[in-house]
Amino acid sequence: MNGFANKIDPQWRVSLGVLSLGIIMTLIYGSGWRIGLPVELRNLSGLVLFGCIMLGAGVSYIGARLNGAAPLRATKIAMLIPVVWHLKEIWAASQIFGFAAGIYAGLQGFYLFYYCLMLMVMGLSHFGCELYYKVSIPNDQRMWRCTGNFFWPILVLVGIEGIGEGLFGFEIFFFQGFNTGYRALFM
């Protein structure tokens, strides 16, 4: 087991660990009732799974940074959980709507906002890392750089959506805009 773990790049270990935990929780949460697992345990697994999906990127980012990854590489590593979850959603949609419409389903506002939210979570993790370095490494010059980059995407997306809904009463990324695109492409 140790030998297997040692073969994994330390910067990826937390990310892959969260992914593994998420898969196990998915099995318990989704299918546990079939083997009679109590609802309390299934509820707990659901909470942990939700935590993996929503906080996994932030935890993975910290794991990568603390193992020496630069911010950009840590960001790439931390994107593992969001990308896998998103691909699972696209796969599920493709089963129902076919490949092309399934991929388009993956562009729904929910997912765009999810990615932005994950970047924001990574931004908070980045902030924590920088704070840690500032405290633990005297005279470190890397402080606070690029923290804002994690927050721009959600501000832009919320801004565009706000303008659409506020000025024109039109949901750009959600139901109306998304469906307009669907009609144009597939109907």
Partner 1 sequence: MMRKDIALKTCLKHLWVAAIVLSSALTCSVTSAQPEQHKVSSEAPPNIVFILADDHRWDYLSAMGHPFIETPNIDRIAQGGVLFENAFVTSSLCSPSRASYLTGQYPQQHGVQNNFTPWDNRNITYFEYLKQAGYQTAFIGKWHMPGEIPALRGLDQFVTFDYKNGQGAYYGTPYIVNGTALKVGETPFPGAEVTGYITDDLTNFALKYIEDNRDKPFALYLSHKAVHLPMTPDPEAAGRYDSQQVELPEEADSWLSFADGNFKHFLWAPLEEKVKDYAETAVAMDQQIGRVLDKLDELGLAENTLLVYAADNGYLWGEHRLIDKRWSYEESMRVPFVVRYPKALKQPGRRSGEMVLNLDLAPTILQAAGINIPEHMQGKSLLPLLEGEREELRDAWLYKYFEDYPYPVPEQMALRTKRYKLIDYARGRKDELFDLQTDPREQHNLIDDESMNETYRRLQAKLEALNKTISQSVASSELSEKE
Written as six digits, the tokens of 140 are 């470190």
**Cα(53)–Cα(56) distance, integer angstroms:** 6
Written as six digits, the tokens of 155 are 């501000």
Q: Which of 166, 167, 183, 184 binds partner 1 (CB under 8 A)?
A: 183
Check binding of 168 to partner 1 (CB under 8 A).
no
Reported as type and span, the H/E element at residue 132 is helix 109-136
Choose the binding region for partner 1 from 9-17, 46-54, 62-70, 155-163 (rule: CB under 8 A).
Answer: 46-54
Q: Residue type for 24, please?
A: I
Check binding of 46 to partner 1 (CB under 8 A).
yes
Q: Residue type for 151, please?
A: F
Check binding of 50 to partner 1 (CB under 8 A).
yes
Q: Closest distance between partner 1 and the C-beta of residue 72, in Å?
A: 30
Angle at which helix 39-66 crosses helix 10-31, to 10 degrees, equals 170
Phi, psi (degrees; rounded to nearest 5) at 77: -65, -40
Check binding of 111 to partner 1 (CB under 8 A).
no
Q: Closest distance between partner 1 and the C-beta of residue 105, in Å?
A: 5
Which of residues 99 and 144 has its CB atom nearest to partner 1 in the complex?
Answer: 99
- The Cβ-side half-sphere exposure at 113, using a 13 Å CA radius, reads 10
Choose the binding region for partner 1 from 10-18, 95-103, 115-123, 147-155 (rule: CB under 8 A).
Answer: 95-103
Q: Provide CB contacts within 8 A for 35, sequence distance 6+.
A: none
Choose the binding region for partner 1 from 7-15, 40-48, 62-70, 156-164 (rule: CB under 8 A).
Answer: 40-48
* Residues lying near partner 1 in the complex (CB under 8 A): 29-30, 33, 39, 42-43, 46-47, 50, 89, 92-93, 95-98, 101, 105, 108, 110, 175-176, 178-179, 182-183, 186-187
